[in-house]
Amino acid sequence: MVLLAVLFFLFMFAGMPIAFGIGIAGFSFFATSQFIPVSIGVQQVAAMSQSFPLLAVPLFVLAGHMMNKTGITERLIGCSNVLVAWMSGGLAQVCILLSTFMGGVSGSAVADAAMEARVLGPSMIKSGYSRGFTCASIAVGSLITATIPPSLGLILYGFVGNVSIGRLFLAGVVPGILMMIAMMFTVWLVARKRGYSAADAVPPTLPRVGRAVWHAKWALLFPVALLFAIRSGVFTPSEVGAFAVVYAVVIGTFVHRDLTWASFNEALSESVQDIGVITLIILLSGMVGYAIVFEQAPQTIAQVMLGLSSQPVVVVFMILVFIFICGLFVEATVMTLLLTPIFVPIITKLGMDPVHFGVLMMSIITLGGMTPPVGVAMYAVCSILDCPVEEYLKESLPFLVAILIVIAVLVLLPGLVLFLPNLLM
């Protein structure tokens, strides 16, 4: 197990692709074991692919790319402008609200951050916002996208931890809205201090709001339809992914008329690349997951943490701090696949609902994508907008503090997370 961990971090810091690094490290466990044949490792790779819930991942990835080609994003931007552009720091407020709307469309924080950096970033900088503040509001704001359903991270957590994906989707709604409120308040404070003016001096009237919402109605209806379909039992989470693809194609082709054959092929090409990377990581992580269980890592870590404190809340905070530190160095998908089988048994033993913990864990893991040294969303936004990482890091601190406060509140008040799942399921 020690060799596995050493090799994984060695390969990661050497710049090897994550999938191959985790695959070789996992294979080393079986190659050096005196008790387990190598063939078991190969079987674990194949076994990871034999899962019906796993179908939700490629389907939602494809749905997200399709929706970005169907005019839905442009309509959401227009709706966000009408609703919040009149507030202090108007364009930054639009970024935060757009991330909330995009949570019901793409489910990917990195995709949302890159899109907003290209579409809204130049306008923000031209309007006088600093590059660091622009990048921070876009990158950290994209955390909401990974919390509001459908979230790819929650799908992976549910798949690995054997937790209801439908309950996880419902549990992400309230935390996502709380994050939106906290970040919009942070933007308001910074904007008032620096004199960042509103993008639209006129507050929205009811007719303007009505027209904007009606124009974006098909995009706004999608997450509602998704949750209703899961709650009513019409579709499983995997089947909802297929419904999302069909929904995007039908709306883009027959309603918005923005989905052309060329853009359809482009969405397919981009999806294949993303799905290939994610699936390869998932399959090769099967060997590491088996090694974790075989070596009884969850039980060992549980004994250590329970030995430090007998208070469940304190242990949960320690686990989240540990996950946050790991998230600074390890990519989110890998973190989810490696740490879920370790910590779900621990928190279950503490009497904590795994749905509650899943939302907290995925928020902390995704936050690692907005922080150095391996923050994927951070680097994507900073490279697109030509912003030094040092400036981004300084400007992102108020947003990070706001998010951590929200997560602390969610730990102490589990009812906020579990309200919708308990009410509707």
Element (H, E) at 134: helix 131-141
Which pTM does this prediction carry? Answer: 0.78
CA 3 to chain centre: 30
Q: Which residues of 337-370 are buried (b: 16+ CB within 10 A; e: fewer)?
A: bbbbbbbbbbbeebebbbbbbbbbbbbbbbbbbb
Q: Count other Cβ atoms within 10 Å, centred on residue 115.
A: 24
**pLDDT > 80? residue 51:** no
Name the burial class of residue 116, with classes exposed (0-12), middle (13-18) and buried (19+) by CB atoms within 10 angstroms of its CB. Answer: buried
Residues 6-17 have pLDDT tens digits of: 887 787 677 777
Q: What does the alpha-carbon distance between residue 372 and residue 235 come to, in Å, rounded to a whole number?
A: 39
**pLDDT > 90? residue 359:** yes
**pLDDT > 90? residue 304:** no
Rounded to an integer, the average pLDDT of 304-313 is: 75
Residue 399 pLDDT level (bands cut at 50, 70, 90): very high
Give the count of alpha carbons within 13 A of 94, CB side only.
Answer: 26
Q: Looking at residue 257, what is its pLDDT?
A: 82
Three-state DSSP state, 388: coil
Q: What does the alpha-carbon distance between residue 353 and residue 363 come to, in Å, rounded to a whole number?
A: 16
Backbone angles phi, psi at 310, to 5 degrees: -100, -5
Residue 277 pLDDT level (bands cut at 50, 70, 90): confident
Residue 93 pLDDT level (bands cut at 50, 70, 90): confident
Residues 169-196 have pLDDT tens digits of: 889 889 999 999 999 999 989 888 887 7
Q: Are 183 and 402 in contact (CB under 8 A)?
A: yes
Q: Count other Cβ atoms within 10 Å, centred on residue 423.
A: 9
Rounded to an integer, the average pLDDT of 98-108 is: 71
